Amino acid sequence: MSLEQAPDEVKLAVDLIMLLEQNALPTQTVLAALEIVRQDFLHKQALQASE
């Protein structure tokens, strides 16, 4: 399967991986930042579900 035909979440993941790798950040920093982003989006998801 080509990336053009991949689901949106796969395309986004590839873009994020490329962005993070280009910045050559330490792995632990990336993982900590991703956890913050994950928690933020889980919070937004919960708010949307309660509307």
Mean pLDDT, the chain, rounded, equals 95
Residue 50: phi and psi, rounded to 5, are -90, -5
The pTM (predicted TM-score) of the whole model is 0.80
The one-letter amino acid at 37: V
d(CA 28, CA 7): 27
The one-letter amino acid at 50: S
pLDDT at 44 over 90: yes
- Which pLDDT score is estimated for 51? 87
Average pLDDT over residues 28-50: 96
- Which pLDDT score is estimated for 2? 87
DSSP H helices, the chain, are 8-22, 27-49
d(CA 35, CA 48): 20
pLDDT in tens, 4-26: 999 999 999 999 999 999 999 99
